[in-house]
Amino acid sequence: MAELDNLDVKILTHLQGNSRKSFQEIAKACLTSVPTVKSRVDRLLELGVIRKFTIDIDNSKLGISEAILIVNAKPIAVNRIAEELLGLEEVKELYVTSDSDAAIISRMAGDMHRILAIQDRINLTDVNNVRIMSVKTPFRKDTTIPLASSSITLTCAYCDRKVTGDAVRKKFDDKDYFFCCNTCKAEFEKKYMKLLADAR
Ligand SMILES: [Zn+2]
C-alpha cells in the first residue's frame, strides 16, 4: 500500500473537490511550491493512487436515465455475461456477486429505450432472469477518501510529527488540516491568521 503523507492527502483532497484546480492554487492553499505539487501529483499517478482525472456530470440535466440491472444466471455463464455487459456503453459499474439469485448487478446510464432492450443485446443462454429497475433518485456518497482512517499516515500540519491516535481536524479557508494536538492547532491558527493578515 502506498504511504501517503499529509501533503499528498491535502493535494488529493483538493483534486477530488475539483480536478481542474491548478497546481498554483493547490500550492498556495497547501503553503508549498508549484514544483512540489507537480512532483507529488506525478508520484501519485505513478503509484496509481490517482487513476484518472475525471468530471462529474449531472446525467439528469442531459436527459440520461439510470437503471440497476440484476442478472440471475447459471454460474458457468456469469463471466461471459459480465464480459458482454462490460462491452455495452450503458454499463457504468458492474459487480459479480456471491448471491446466486443476483449473480451480476450493474449500474447503467444512458438512453432508457436501449437499457430496456438489454435482453436483445446480450446472449441469454444460461440466463435465468433479468431485472431492470429504473433509478428514481440516485443518492451518491462522494468518493472522498476517509482522511481519518488509520491506513493513512498523517503528519501534524504544525509540528510535522506523525499523528498517532485521533488527529485534531480543523478547517481553514474551507480546507481540512490535521494536528497532533490542540496546542499545535492553536499555534497553527495563530500562524495562519498572521499570514492572512500579512497578505491583506
Ligand atoms: Zn503537532
Contact 172, 28 (CB under 8 A): no
Q: Is residue 173 part of a domain?
A: yes
pLDDT, one tens digit per residue, over 86-134 is: 999 999 999 999 987 789 999 999 888 889 999 899 999 999 999 999 9
Residue 146 lies in a domain: no
pTM of the predicted model, to two decimals?
0.49
Final residue in a domain of this structure, among 134, 169, 192: 134
**DSSP per-residue letters across 136-199:** SS---------TT-TTS--B-TTT-PBP-SSPEEEEETTEEEEESSHHHHHHHHHHHHHHHHHH
> Does residue 81 fall inside a structural domain?
yes
- pLDDT on residue 150: 43
Q: Which residues have C-beta under 5 Å from ligand 1, the single-atom ion?
A: 156, 158-159, 180, 184
193: CA distance to ligand 1 center in Å? 17
Helix (H) or strand (E) holding 28: helix 23-29
Q: Is 71 helix (H, G, I), strand (E, B) or coil?
A: strand
Between 137 and 132, the higher pLDDT residue: 132
Does the residue 143 lie in any domain? no
With a cut of 70, say whether residue 1 has pLDDT above it: no
Same domain (yes/no): 161, 193: yes
Question: Which range of residues forms the domain containing residue 106?
Answer: 59-134
Question: From ligand 1's centre to the CA of 148, what distance in Å?
Answer: 16
Query: What CATH code is carried by the domain that includes residue 106?
Result: 3.30.70.920
- Is 149 part of any domain? no
Instruction: Read off the CATH number of the domain in which 10 is found.
Output: 1.10.10.10
* Number of folded domains that form the chain: 3
190 CA distance to ligand 1 middle (Å):
14
End residue of a domain, out of 36, 54, 72 = 54
Extract the C-alpha cell encoding 49. Answer: 493512487
Compute the distance from residue 57 Cα to the ligand 1 centre, in Å: 39
pLDDT of residue 156: 85
Determine the pLDDT at residue 169: 84
In a domain, 144, yes or no: no
Residues 75 and 129 occupy one common structural domain: yes
Mean pLDDT in the chain?
Answer: 85
In a domain, 147, yes or no: no
Residues 120 and 85 reside in one and the same domain:
yes
Ligand 1 center to residue 156 CA distance, Å? 5
